[in-house]
């Protein structure tokens, strides 16, 4: 077996293990969607920052900079990094 397949199998196994382990603590849809209303501010901030500077935003900024032959749009990513 090649290394890539082994890594994928290990990754999927870990995901299934975590899923079955967490399944015991989820009692209803609110626990699943809202995390049981027990998510720290740090995780919420990290999630918002990851969504904000994700692939879609980054690709859009690169495209804008390439079309205008400048890096005027790069400030957006640099301002989001501290958050």
Model pTM?
0.46
Buried b (16+ CB within 10 A) or exposed e, 22-44: eeeeeeeeeeeeeeeeeeeeeee
Q: Are the C-beta atoms of 76 and 65 separated by less than 8 Å?
A: no
CA 79 to chain centre: 18
Separation CA 36–CA 27 (nearest Å)? 9
pLDDT score recorded for residue 25: 81
pLDDT tens sequence for the chain (83 residues): 799 999 999 999 999 999 898 888 888 888 778 877 888 889 888 888 777 777 666 666 667 666 766 666 666 656 656 55
* Location of structure tokens 């290394």: 3
pLDDT score recorded for residue 47: 83
pLDDT score recorded for residue 38: 83
């Amino acid at each position: 077996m090649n290394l890539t397949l082994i890594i994928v199998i290990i990754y999927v196994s870990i995901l299934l293990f975590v899923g079955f382990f967490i399944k015991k603590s989820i009692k209803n849809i609110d626990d699943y969607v809202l995390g049981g209303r027990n998510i720290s501010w740090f995780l919420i901030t990290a999630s918002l920052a990851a969504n904000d500077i994700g692939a879609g935003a980054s690709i859009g900024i690169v495209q804008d900079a390439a079309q205008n032959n400048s890096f005027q749009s790069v400030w957006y990513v640099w301002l989001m990094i501290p958050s």
